[in-house]
Every structure is written in C-alpha cells, then in structure tokens.
Amino acid sequence: MSFLRPNLDTKGRVIRAISALLMAVAAVFTWPHSRAAGIALAGSALFVAFEAARGWCALRACGVKTKF
C-alpha cells in the first residue's frame, strides 16, 4: 500500500507521540464532564499515536504540506 508508506522523519514522529499523550491526558480529565468530548479526544489520541508509530501522516498522504 503506497498510501500508508512512512512520510515522517523522527522529529515529526516525536511531535505526534507527544501530541497523542497530551490528548490522552486531556481525555481522562474531560471524561467526567463530557463523555462525548472524552471519547472524541481518546479516539484522536489513538489515531495520532498510530501516525507516530507508523511514521505516517494522513494530511501529508493527502498532499497537504505540514511543518513537521
């Protein structure tokens, strides 16, 4: 699958991993106040963690230029 081939360098992967961790923490703190927001944040954290682990960015795969 050429669509899922790695398109991130180490810096981009680290930034996405940190973002995923921060979103997961935010999901935990948001859950008691709004379950929908907590679920949305947790789902986003999982997707960004997948991007970091795979070295793949969905936006870059679609042709969008990203800074990292």
Q: For residue range 30-43, what is the model confidence (pLDDT) as tens digits?
A: 999 999 999 999 99
The confidence band for 27, taking pLDDT boundaries of 50, 70 and 90, is very high
Average pLDDT of every residue of the chain: 95
**The pLDDT of residue 3:** 79
63 pLDDT higher than 80: yes
Query: What CA–CA distance (Å, rounded) separates 24 from 30?
Result: 10
48 pLDDT higher than 70: yes
If we measure between CA atoms, which residue out of 29, 8, 3, 7 comes closest to residue 37? 29
**The pLDDT of residue 34:** 98
The confidence band for 1, taking pLDDT boundaries of 50, 70 and 90, is low
